[in-house]
Amino acid sequence: METVSIRNPGMTWDIAASIHFPPDFDSSTRYPAIVSNHPIGSCKEQTAGNVYGAALAEAGFVVIVPDASFQGASGGSPRWIEDPEQRVKDYRDVIDYAQTLPFVDPERIGILGICGGGGYSIKATIIDKRIKALVSITGVNFGRLMREGFSQFDPVGALENMARLRTAENAGADGEINIFLPPNVEAGKAAGITDIDVLEATDYYRNRCPAEGSGTRMLVSHAAPAIAWDAFAFAETLLIQPMMVVFGDKLGGFGAYRDGMEIYGRAASRLR
């Protein structure tokens, strides 16, 4: 595995990424490549890298696992911004980089994303036809989640609160951070949390696989763009690439089952 910095065109920071190589890697050979994208609040060292990155590399792919801008080891300030359009831009910048690598076949680049990274990967595939195949693992449409559960089904009220926070921060106040998960499963249960998504995410990201770059948090004042964003817009006509959607059969608060069924039904991929 190798860690690289990828220049973010038009920005003042770099994207940090890990490259996982196939066994017996030969730099004179051109390999199919996959961009593997972490969940919201995660980082390249967790599931996108240590699980899917490692397994896909073992299967013969070159796998590039980026940290999102403003998160992990990537640049960008202020920290912990969750901006869907920036995230999709990050993925496309990583593809730009992948196409410059002499050991990557530029005509065989796929994308995979987990949870929020799955929704972002769907959007990237809708608009970027350099992506030849898509896999969404328990993918979540973060815009839908922000308009519903994450705003207590009051998106206008959430936007008004974000406006107040941004005004206060411009006047020198500290930023308000939304900590997505409790510190551990026991604390979550003690607080009355029963949702399977929250508890299992806490078990993995906080307890079983903690990582220094994982924040599981979001700067609230900069989250407004997510409320007006839709990962699935125009999927009926523009999402034509082969697609695999993976989700569990137990309903959870993040909505992966619902979103998975929706994009499976809407994508034009099934017609080609």
Note the pLDDT tens digit of each residue in 68-103: 999 999 999 999 999 999 999 999 999 999 999 999
Residue 272 above 60 pLDDT? no
Quote the pLDDT of residue 210: 94
Quote the pLDDT of residue 83: 96
5 - beta bridge partners?
16
Q: What's the whole-number mean pLDDT along residues 30-46?
A: 97
Note the pLDDT tens digit of each residue in 125-179: 999 999 999 999 999 999 999 999 999 999 999 999 999 999 999 999 999 999 9
Quote the pLDDT of residue 11: 81
Q: Measured between alpha carbons, how far is 118 from 92 in angstroms, rounded to an integer?
A: 14
Quickly state the pLDDT bin for 10 (edges 50, 70, 90).
confident
* Domain ranges across the chain: 2-271
Give me the sheet containing 31-37, strands edge to edge. Answer: 2-7, 14-20, 62-66, 31-37, 104-114, 131-137, 243-246
* Percent above pLDDT 70 for the chain: 99
Residue 21 above 90 pLDDT? yes
Whole-angstrom CA distances from 155 to 62, 107, 145, 219, 227 are 40, 41, 10, 16, 7
Note the pLDDT tens digit of each residue in 206-247: 999 999 999 899 999 999 999 999 999 999 999 999 999 999
Give the orientation angle of helix 84-100 with respect to helix 116-127, to 10 degrees: 60
CATH H-level superfamily of 2-271: Alpha/Beta hydrolase fold, catalytic domain (3.40.50.1820)
Residue 271 above 60 pLDDT? no
